[in-house]
């Protein structure tokens, strides 16, 4: 789980962007075959999760004693059936809903909250900066896996609790990056000029700062998604994330552990899904980073 | 050097205070009665109140914090609710086992990661580079708790080569550096090493690549230095950064081993933590988190200082 | 099925190559427990039935023990540290117990009546020097009848109960007697006693690493020569995660595991491992709310629900390791009696009863049920409850589940059906000990024990039942008492007071080299007869 940590080391740097920047990024990204493949995989996962009820799948909650632990390739259960005889294909697709939701939303929340805090700290500076950044330092003192498990462990299982604990984990690193890039931008000449012309702080932030700092923060945030997803599934795997009988990959991995002696392939499926998704998220984030010319 | 160390140390104190507050608050945010788990199912209300008083849970929160911190400074971290044993003894024993596991994983991961990263960085944009990049991305993407289960199935249950759980036939207190015990270490250490291999390889690749493309390296070549000499030069330059990444990784290995320790029943801090969570043993949860976080703070400090010692430029910045 | 076979044979093949594992000293039995920690070692154990099994009845004795020697009949009380016990016919609250002579604790000190007094003070008298809140928390509630006690002489003890109570011997079977001399020698510090405790039992605790392992060695001087252990050593290892337990057994790291996951059992049997199981006093039911607005007040609905469940079919879920309920107590219990109502699977009868009660396919009954996804002794609560949900739907009863974590479940169990925290749930799925008249019958339905005062969760109160409970307590002739217990149980079943589903069979899996184990029909077991054949 230590992958979290490497990603958490802020590394982005800001630079004012030239015109036509975004079309250039998209062009470069489209040319990156690996990133595009990953983008398609993730888009498919999200689409199938969103539209799961209309895909004609079996009921992911309804089990059958007869169908218990049917192997992959069984008629009527293409990917087999789980320990309660529930269709694995349906559970995996419906499971994508919760897994992706809990895996991605904390990063989204942390992106907004952390950016706001970091931009405020970086732009205003002084005491505001000190207070915000020292609090961030405290949370940085916890290895992120530990922090997530500690908060979730104390709060107990549940979707909301997982979202809360993971958001708390990811706010500090985003804040640090946001603070760093904002401080960098703040000292640039044209911002000085804007301020000298008498524009209010909020106006300067809105017009000049946000546009310049959001893209590096965004790229950084995308690099957190795979970590967040592995961590979210890990919480469920430990039994302090999503509660049964909800389909969620980490939880499915946990409940299918006993079946590993009956059918290891079946039991491994949810883990494969987590692996594949997180791999795609990482590759996509890498692709995005190089397309945006943000240094490694 | 000493003044730098002291300056860093002073900066650490408020962080340590903040960490203690966060750890204390963990118990406060927890819903329900922490004593539930240990009371017999048919305990009376009166018995429950007596237990609550015995654990000091009937006092106001700030008072509880002051008592807690005062005891903490005297090395008393309270008693585990589930076992009644002192938390400090439980946690330090377990952290020792986690350190053993974390160091073993580091010993596997760092040389392999460095070697792979170096290869990739040196032979940038070759097939070798791409292979290493693929390995390292796979390494950082794999849910290692799942990998652990897969390894148990293959190497313990199917092949019967390595044990699936525990820290040796006599438990962790009986640890020896012999094959009987090291066998128990292999699977969890390898599982734990996969992620840092990926991270170290990525970092070293980037470092090596950057430095090789710098002007002074070109100059060295121009001066007619051999490849080996250039490599040595590059390695020294990369050492400071690589060291900091590895130092932090070691700290993360310690904190991040909870899932792996659960899979392998390794009697470390992560295993203790998951027991504490499921028995809702909040003093133990609090104590374990606190010690791990403090260890991490100390690790950061050491890394900073060591980095400054290797590369004096860092001290000035 | 093909794939399944393939996996099995692959497993069998691989296990055949496992010979390389380091063999320990001969006669060492390594047991993987389900508990997350070594049970409390000082006397009164924690960790529920498992704690008493491994750390209670091994290292210690009670005054009155359970007989663990037979697998064929429900176990009964036998003399332990007390050789006989009688009540005064004039004053039924006064009990005299003759204590066994010549018994020594593991530390060499003599066992006397004073030690028993000292032990009871340890649990009941808060200002006594030896009072131990941890042991008290486990033991105090087990002996509610006791009012006072004194040592008459070295080997005679007198106990006075609060009111006449014939169930006292069962209560005393809970209380483990630890050594006072040992506690004094260890600076009167229970913490130190935990590391080297001393009892009178057939096993001595030799080594103890919290959360990792405990080692028991035989007590060659045990007072019952029949129960002097054959083995050299038992090693207890906490392995709470079912898969870690299975993997440990399959890879030869332990010789015995408690409660193997049902899905792993075929693989284990395929590899020559032995599954031992037996009936024991365990119950898996739904307790029903009897508050005014509860639909379960209608006996027709209660009976219909009991008739709607195909208990045999549920066996598939559990790898056959269950005993379908025929009543509240397990079939074969001495107290079973001859109830008229048979809770078998008869959907037609169930539907007829529901029709009679005014329900039908278009007028379905909705109920809310409390369940927990895990918990000690709960077997496989989720699939089993989902199975019940599907079964009851056939009898036009729609079940909505309220799923809570096990610790929260314990709170709700204590709080009772009327408490707002249960959010109007009309039943609770809870499993427990039914080892003696109190835990088996009285505590569930006694008017005086209505939650939160006791564990009468559903607020049931019935005059006829209450007088039966009185009769149990005041019938001092054991045979007569059994008859009263039978009448009580007949009423339990004939009134269909619970959704009676199944009994666990305490499965344990062991390596073929483990010989001589007799699984008693009890929560506790005797390990003395076991040998290891290398």
Answer whether residue A24 shows pLDDT above 80.
no
How far is the C-alpha of A47 from the C-alpha of A36, rounded, in Å?
Answer: 16
Q: Among C375, C383, C388, which would you mutate to test the A interface (most chain A Cβ atoms within 10 Å of its Cβ)?
A: C383
Looking at chain C, which subunits does it touch, using at least 3 CB pairs closer than 8 Å as the criterion?
A: A, B
Residue C20 C-beta-side C-alpha neighbours within 13 Å: 11
CA distance C199 to B184: 34
Closest-CA residue of A relative to C3 is A71
pLDDT for residue A93 is more than 80: yes
Contact A35/A291 with Cβ under 8 angstroms? Answer: yes
Name chain A contacts of C386, Cβ cutoff 8 Å. 63, 84, 245
Q: And the tokens for B215?
A: 């002007």
Give chain B's radius of gyration (CA, Å): 24
Interface check for C360 against chain B (CB to CB < 8 A): the answer is no
* Start-to-end CA span in chain B (Å): 14
Host H or E run for residue C64: strand C64-66
Contact B18 A238 (CB under 8 A): no
Inter-chain contacts counted by CB atoms under 8 A, chains B and C:
128
Helix (H) and strand (E) counts for chain A? 12, 0
pLDDT of the residue at A296: 40
Query: What pLDDT sits at residue A295?
Result: 46
Interface contact flag, A263 C373, Cβ < 8 Å = no
Distance between alpha carbon A137 and the CA centroid of its chain, in Å? 22
* Token digits of residue C118: 């000292």
pLDDT (tens digit per residue) in B244-284? 777 778 877 887 788 888 888 888 888 888 888 877 788 88
Cα angle for residues A240, A246, A251 (degrees, 5° grid): 45
Half-sphere exposure of C439 (CA within 13 A, CB side): 22
Cα B287–B11–B24 angle (5° rounding)?
Answer: 25
Q: Which residues of B touch C143 (CB under 8 A)?
A: none
What chain B holds in terms of domains, given with CATH numbers, is 93-310 (1.10.3720.10)
End-to-end CA distance of chain A: 21
Gap between the Cα atoms of C408 and A234, Å rounded: 23
| pLDDT at position A2 | 39
d(CA C476, CA C497): 27
Show the CA angle centred on residue A202, arms to residues A197 and A204, nearest 5°.
40
A41–chain B nearest CA distance, Å: 15
Q: How far apart are the first and last CA of chain C?
A: 35
Residue among C138, C12, C48 nearest C506 (CA): C48
Task: Tell me the residues of chain C between 361 and 420 that have a Cβ less than 8 Å away from chain B.
Answer: 407-408, 410-411, 413-414
What's the count of helices (H) and strands (E) in chain B, helices before strands?
A: 13, 0
pLDDT tens digits, B49-78: 777 777 677 778 888 888 888 888 888 888
Q: What is the pLDDT of residues A132-173, one digit of tens each?
A: 998 998 888 888 888 898 898 888 888 999 999 999 999 999
Tell me how far apart the alpha carbons of residues A169 and C468 are, in angstroms, rounded to a whole number: 59
Average pLDDT score, chain B: 81
SS3 content of chain B, % helix, strand, coil (to 5): 75, 0, 20
Give the mean model confidence (pLDDT) for residues B26-37.
71
Asked if the C-beta of A153 comes within 8 angstroms of chain C's C-beta atoms, the answer is no
ipTM value: 0.82
C253 and B164: CB-CB below 8 Å?
yes
pLDDT value, residue B33: 67
* More confident: B199 or C119: C119
Strand C28-33 versus strand C256-258 pairing type: parallel
* Pair of tokens at residue C33: 């427990």
User: B36 vs C209: CB contact, 8 Å cut-off?
Assistant: no
Q: What contacts C453, CB < 8 A, 6 or more positions away?
A: B44
User: What distance in Å separates residue A198's CA from the closest CA in chain B?
Assistant: 33
The reply to whether C269 touches chain A by the CB within 8 Å rule is no
B133 touches chain C (CB under 8 A): no
Measured between beta carbons, which residues in chain B are less than 8 angstroms from residue A157? none
pLDDT in tens, C242-289: 888 888 898 888 999 998 888 788 888 888 999 999 988 899 999 999
Which residue from C minimizes the CA distance to B161? C18
Supply C400's token pair: 């909505």
Top residue of B136, B141, B288 to mutate, by most chain A CBs within 10 Å, is B141
Q: Cβ distance B110 to B246 under 8 Å?
A: yes
- Contact list in C for residue B265 (CB cut-off 8 A) is 239, 241, 244, 248
**Phi, psi of C400, deg, nearest 5:** -105, 130
What percentage of chain C has pLDDT greater than the value 70?
A: 95
* Separation between Cα atoms, residue C10 and residue A186, nearest integer Å: 66
- CA-to-CA distance for C60 and C203, rounded, in angstroms? 8
B245 contacts in A (CB within 8 Å)?
6, 9
Q: Average pLDDT per run of 10 along chain C, which is 534 residues long?
A: 42 39 62 88 88 94 94 90 94 95 95 96 93 86 91 96 92 95 95 93 92 92 93 91 84 90 84 90 93 95 95 84 92 92 95 95 94 76 86 92 78 87 92 86 92 88 95 91 95 96 92 92 92 86
Question: C244 and B164: CB-CB below 8 Å?
Answer: yes
**Chains within contact range of chain A (3+ C-beta pairs < 8 Å):** B, C
pTM above 0.95, yes or no: no
Q: Which residue, among C63, C51, C43, has the nearest Cα to C146 in the 3D structure?
A: C63
B141 with A282: Cβ contact below 8 A: yes
Cβ–Cβ gap B300/A240 under 8 Å: no
Could you tell me the CA-to-CA distances from C361 to C198, C294, C354, C388, C400 in Å, in that order?
A: 64, 20, 10, 18, 17
Question: B86 Cβ partners below 8 Å, 6+ apart?
Answer: B76, B77, B78, B79, B80
Whole-angstrom Cα distance, residue B56 to residue B24? Answer: 14
pLDDT of residue B32: 65
DSSP 8-state assignment for residue C67: P
Distance from CA of A262 to the nearest CA of C (A): 6
Q: At a CB cut-off of 8 Å and minimum separation 6, what does A227 contact?
A: A3, A4, A7, A144, A278
Query: Using CA atoms, how far apart are residues B18 and A62, in angstroms rounded to an integer?
Result: 48
Cβ pair A268:B145 closer than 8 A: no
CB A83 within 8 A of CB C263: yes
The pLDDT assigned to C520 comes to 92
Identify the band that residue A197 occupies on the pLDDT scale cut at 50, 70 and 90.
Answer: confident
Strands (E), chain B: none
Give me the residue from B27, B146, B293 closest to A274, CB to CB: B146
The residues that bridge with C30 in the sheet, in sequence order, are C235
CA-closest candidate to residue A281, choices A90, A116, A99: A99
Report CB contact under 8 Å: A3, B297.
no
Match 């949900």 to its residue by tokens.
Answer: C389
Q: Scanning the structure block, which residue is given the tokens 């499926």? A: A269
Rounded Cα gap, residues C83 and C103, in angstroms:
12
- Give me the CATH topology for the region A25-57+77-291: MetI-like fold (1.10.3720)
Angstrom distance (rounded) from CA C354 to CA C367: 14
Q: Which residue of B has its CA nearest to C432?
A: B41
- Chain C CB contacts of B264 below 8 Å: 244
CA distances A166 to A171, A228, B289, C62, Å, are 9, 7, 16, 50
**Coil, helix or strand for B11?**
helix
Q: Report how far residue C221's alpha carbon sits from residue C430's, in angstroms, rounded to the nearest whole number.
A: 41
For residue B174, pLDDT beyond 50: yes
Q: Give CA–CA dist B38/C36, Å, rounded.
A: 13
Chain B contacts of C414, Cβ < 8 Å? 41-43
For B301, nearest residue in chain A (alpha carbons): A141
Which residues on A lie below 8 Å from B285 (Cβ)? 150, 153-154
Q: Which chain A residue's Cα is nearest to B293? A: A142
Q: Residue B42 and residue C15: Cβ atoms within 8 Å?
A: no
CA distance C153 to chain B (A): 32
- Cβ contact, residue pair B14, A134, below 8 Å: yes
Say if the Cβ atoms of C250 and B156 lie within 8 Å. yes
> In Å, how far are A13, A28, A111, C144 from A215, measured between CA atoms?
10, 16, 11, 70
Q: Which of residues 16-35 of C touch B (CB under 8 A)?
A: 17-18, 20-22, 24
């Amino acid at each position: 789980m230590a992958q979290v940590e490497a990603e958490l080391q802020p590394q982005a740097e800001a630079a004012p962007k030239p015109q036509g920047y975004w079309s250039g990024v998209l062009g470069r990204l489209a040319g990156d075959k690996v990133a595009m493949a990953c983008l398609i995989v993730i888009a498919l996962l999200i689409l199938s999760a969103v539209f799961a009820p209309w895909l004609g799948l079996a009921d992911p909650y309804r089990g059958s004693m007869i169908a218990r632990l049917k192997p992959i390739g069984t008629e009527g259960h293409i990917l087999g059936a789980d320990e309660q005889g529930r269709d694995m294909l349906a559970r995996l697709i419906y499971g994508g809903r919760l897994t992706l939701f809990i895996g991605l939303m904390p990063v989204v929340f942390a992106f907004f909250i952390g950016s706001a805090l970091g931009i405020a700290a970086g732009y205003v500076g002084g005491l505001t900066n000190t207070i915000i950044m020292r609090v961030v330092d405290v949370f940085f003192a916890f290895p992120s896996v530990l922090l997530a498990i500690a908060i979730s462990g104390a709060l107990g299982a549940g979707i909301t609790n997982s979202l809360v604990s993971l958001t708390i984990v990811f706010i500090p690193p985003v804040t640090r990056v946001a603070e760093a890039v904002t401080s960098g931008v703040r000292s640039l000449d044209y911002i000085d000029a804007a301020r000298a012309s008498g524009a209010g702080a909020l106006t300067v932030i809105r017009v000049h700062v946000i546009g310049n700092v959001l893209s590096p923060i965004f790229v950084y945030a995308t690099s957190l998604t795979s970590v967040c997803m592995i961590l979210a599934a890990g919480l469920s795997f430990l039994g302090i994330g999503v509660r049964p009988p909800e389909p969620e990959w980490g939880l499915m991995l946990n409940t299918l552990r006993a079946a590993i002696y009956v059918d290891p392939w079946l039991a491994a499926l949810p883990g494969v899904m987590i692996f594949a998704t997180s791999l795609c998220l990482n590759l996509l984030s890498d692709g995005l980073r190089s397309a945006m010319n943000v240094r490694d | 050097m000493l003044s730098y160390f002291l300056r860093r140390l002073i900066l650490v104190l408020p962080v340590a205070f903040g960490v203690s507050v966060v750890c204390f608050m963990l118990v406060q945010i927890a819903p329900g009665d922490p004593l539930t788990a240990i009371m017999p199912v048919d305990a009376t209300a009166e018995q429950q109140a007596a237990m609550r008083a015995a654990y000091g849970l009937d006092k106001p929160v700030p008072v509880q914090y002051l008592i807690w911190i005062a005891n903490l400074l005297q090395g008393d971290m309270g008693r585990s609710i589930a076992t009644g044993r002192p938390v400090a003894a439980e946690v330090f024993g377990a952290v020792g086992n986690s350190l053993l596991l974390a160091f073993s994983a580091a010993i596997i991961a760092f040389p392999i990661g460095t070697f792979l990263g170096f290869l990739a960085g040196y032979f940038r944009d070759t097939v070798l580079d791409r292979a290493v990049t693929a390995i390292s991305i796979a390494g950082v993407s794999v849910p290692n708790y799942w990998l652990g289960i897969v390894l148990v199935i293959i190497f313990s249950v199917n092949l019967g080569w390595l044990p699936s759980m525990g820290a040796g036939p006599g438990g962790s207190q009986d640890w020896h550096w012999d094959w009987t015990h090291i066998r128990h270490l292999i699977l969890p250490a390898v599982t734990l090493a996969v992620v840092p291999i990926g991270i170290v390889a990525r970092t070293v690749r980037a470092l090596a690549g950057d430095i090789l493309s710098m002007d002074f390296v070109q100059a060295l070549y121009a001066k007619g230095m051999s490849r080996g000499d250039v490599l040595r030069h590059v390695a020294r330059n990369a050492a400071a950064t690589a060291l900091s990444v590895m130092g932090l990784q070691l700290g993360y290995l310690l904190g991040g081993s909870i899932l792996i320790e659960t899979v392998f029943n390794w009697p470390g801090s992560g295993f203790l933590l998951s027991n504490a969570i499921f028995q809702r043993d909040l003093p133990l949860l609090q104590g374990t988190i606190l010690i791990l976080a403090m260890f991490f703070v100390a690790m950061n400090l050491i890394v900073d200082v060591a980095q400054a010692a290797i590369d004096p430029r860092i001290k000035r910045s | 099925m093909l794939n399944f076979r393939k996996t099995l044979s692959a497993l069998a093949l691989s296990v055949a190559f496992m010979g390389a594992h380091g063999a320990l000293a001969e006669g060492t039995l390594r047991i993987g427990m389900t508990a997350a920690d070594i049970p409390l070692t000082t006397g009164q154990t924690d960790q529920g039935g498992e704690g008493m099994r491994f750390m209670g009845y091994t290292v210690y004795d009670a005054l009155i023990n359970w007989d663990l020697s037979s697998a064929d009949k429900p176990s009964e009380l036998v003399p332990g540290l007390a050789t006989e016990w009688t009540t005064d016919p004039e004053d039924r609250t006064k009990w005299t117990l003759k204590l066994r002579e010549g018994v020594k604790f593991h530390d060499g000190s003599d066992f006397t009546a004073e030690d028993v007094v000292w032990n009871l003070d340890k649990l009941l008298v808060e200002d006594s020097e030896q009072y131990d809140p941890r042991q008290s928390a486990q033991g105090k509630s087990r002996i509610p009848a006791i009012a006072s006690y004194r040592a008459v002489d070295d080997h005679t003890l007198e106990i006075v109960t609060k009111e006449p109570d014939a169930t006292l011997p069962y209560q005393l079977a809970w209380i483990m007697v630890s050594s006072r001399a040992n506690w004094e020698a260890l600076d009167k510090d229970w913490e130190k006693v935990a590391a080297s405790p001393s009892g009178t039992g057939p096993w001595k605790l030799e080594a103890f690493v919290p959360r990792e392992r405990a080692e028991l060695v035989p007590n060659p001087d045990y007072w019952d020569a029949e129960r002097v252990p054959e083995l050299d050593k038992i090693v207890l290892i906490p392995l709470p995660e079912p898969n870690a337990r299975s993997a440990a057994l399959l890879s030869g790291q332990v010789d015995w595991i408690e409660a193997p996951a049902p899905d792993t059992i075929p693989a284990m049997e395929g590899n020559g491992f032995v599954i031992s199981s037996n009936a024991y006093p365990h119950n898996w039911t739904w307790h029903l709310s009897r508050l005014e607005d509860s639909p379960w007040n209608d006996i027709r609905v209660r009976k219909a629900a009991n008739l709607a469940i195909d208990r045999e079919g549920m066996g598939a879920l559990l790898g056959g390791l269950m005993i379908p309920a025929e009543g509240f107590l397990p079939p074969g219990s001495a107290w079973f009696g001859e109830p008229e109502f048979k809770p078998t699977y008869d959907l037609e009868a169930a539907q007829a009863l529901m029709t009679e009660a005014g329900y039908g396919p278009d007028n379905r009954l909705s109920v809310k049920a409390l369940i927990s996804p895990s918990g000690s002794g709960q077997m496989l609560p989720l699939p089993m409850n989902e199975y019940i949900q599907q079964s009851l739907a056939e009898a036009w009863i729609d079940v909505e589940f309220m799923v809570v974590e096990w610790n929260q479940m314990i709170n709700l169990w204590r709080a009772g059906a009327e408490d707002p925290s249960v959010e109007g749930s009309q039943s609770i799925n809870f499993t427990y000990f039914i080892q003696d008249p109190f835990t088996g019958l009285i505590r569930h339905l006694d008017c005086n024990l209505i939650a939160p005062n006791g564990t009468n969760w559903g607020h049931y109160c019935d005059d006829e039942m209450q007088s039966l409970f009185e009769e149990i307590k005041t019938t001092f002739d054991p045979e007569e008492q059994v008859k009263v217990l039978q009448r009580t149980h007949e009423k339990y079943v004939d009134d269909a007071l619970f959704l009676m589903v199944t009994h666990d069979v305490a499965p344990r899996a062991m390596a073929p080299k483990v010989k001589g184990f007799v699984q008693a029909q009890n929560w506790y077991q005797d390990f003395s007869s076991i040998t290891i054949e290398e």
